[in-house]
Structure formats: C-alpha cells, structure tokens
Structure 1
C-alpha cells in the first residue's frame, strides 16, 4: 500500500494529495513526498480548483461526485479527500506506479 492513500475501518479510502492549480491541463503528475500530485487546469479562485478536483477524481474513478469528499485543505495545496465506493487497486492505479 502507498503512503498517499489509506483504507479506513469502514471501507472508505483517504487520499493525501498535492494540488497544482492553474496548470495547462488536468492530470496526475506522480508522487510528491507522501502525496499524489495532481495538476488542475482550474484556477485557485472561489473554490473552483476544489470543485474541479472532486469532479476529476469522481470521473476517473467512475463514481458520483457525492462519493468524493474534501475533508481538509480547502485553501491549501495539500488536501485530504475521502472516497467511498471504490477499491484500493483502482485507487493505486491512479498514480501510474
């Protein structure tokens, strides 16, 4: 198991992410310390980057947006999200490692 995601006791998965808003395109960018780095095309203004992040992860994991919750880091590049309805193998494949 990787450091950037953890299984909780109730079947949820916690993701630790490093976000780079304002990028040319939205994509995974590998590991950044103990976090998975994601480049977002959305600007860090009025919560647009947070909305884009939730939408991006929900789309990639083929989940409804309600299954991806931003737990902490609303105004930080380092964010913690909680995902329900996915498995660890699918989450692990996100980083390409």
Structure 2
C-alpha cells in the first residue's frame, strides 16, 4: 500500500489528525509529531506512529519519498484489506 502523508513537526503530541485535501486536489493523511525535523527524527517518529497504529512491523514501513519535506509517501507492506480497514477506522474516527 502507498500512503501519502502531510507531517506537522514540533506539535504538542503525536497524533493522526485525519485526511486533508491539498491545494493540488490530492488527499493526504495529516499527522502531527512532537519530534523536530532534525537528523530524521520526525521521519522516525512518523514510522513509529504508523507501525503502532496499523499494527505492522517496522520493517514493513519504508519512506518512499519526501525525507526532507512535509509531504511524504510511504510504502507499507501487509494485507491490503486489513491495512485499508485500519486506515478507514482512523479516518472515520477523526471525521
């Protein structure tokens, strides 16, 4: 599964905020992280949050693009139906 994420670093807490529509019309999962965007700390925090939330192993989540950007793309390995269901629950709870 490919996942598009918009990260806000240096937030008050680590949290998935829901889905936002960008200026370009694409949807992104909005995530706030306490970590600063220094030496990959925010990227590591993002991957930790997603692995915990989706119930997948760390080795199953890789940063495909956006290492130094707020807009990131991640590749997540796992059963697509289960991952989609977990994301659906997260998004529905935030709506």
Q: Given the two structures, how large is their TM-score scaled by the length of structure 2?
A: 0.83
1:1-97 matches, cutoff 5 A:
13-33=1-21, 34-86=27-79, 87=82, 88-96=84-92, 97=95
| SS of match in other structure, 1:49 | helix
Give distance in 1, aligned partners of 2:90 and 2:28.
12
How far 1:94 moved relative to its partner? 2.3
Structure 1's consecutive aligned runs of 4 or more residues displaced over 6 angstroms after TM superposition are none
Q: Unaligned stretches of 5+ in structure 1? A: 1-12
Number of residue pairs matched by the alignment:
85
Q: Unaligned stretches of 5+ in structure 2? A: 22-26
Give distance in 2, aligned partners of 1:76 and 1:94.
23
| SS of match in other structure, 2:39 | coil
How far 1:50 moved relative to its partner? 0.1
Coordinate RMSD, CA, aligned:
1.2
Give distance in 2, aligned partners of 1:68 and 1:89.
17
Task: Report which of the two has the higher share of helix.
Answer: 2
